[in-house]
Amino acid sequence: MEKLIAQSANTDAITLWTKRITDCKNSGLRTPDWCAENQINVKTYYYWHNKIHKMVKRQQTAFYEVPVSSSSHGIPVATVRIGVIQADIYPGADAGTIQAICRALKTC
């Protein structure tokens, strides 16, 4: 439970600092000036900037092979959405196909 709370707090901090970094870059101000205006320590800003930059660099694209049937699909029986990513499940989809789709969506 404590680990889950810590992960949630870290995710909240990453979300907050990602927004702050974006705001700084879009402000047209120099970083030190933006930090002063927003009462943020410059060293703290650069700590989070570097941390998030490294996280983004570490992310890797994953590819999953999803078997496709050549038969007529008709209307999807289910649609799974995560953010802007969408996967439709059609009648007759076997368990392997559904598992492959779920594995692929987990990485999004």
pLDDT in tens, the chain (108 residues): 344 334 445 778 888 999 999 999 999 999 999 999 999 999 999 999 999 888 877 765 555 666 666 555 578 888 877 666 778 888 878 888 788 877 777 766
Give per-residue burial for 56-85: e unless 16+ CB within 10 Å, then b.
eeeeeeeeeeeeeeeeeeeeeeeeeeeeee
pTM score above 0.75: no
CA distance 59 to 44: 23
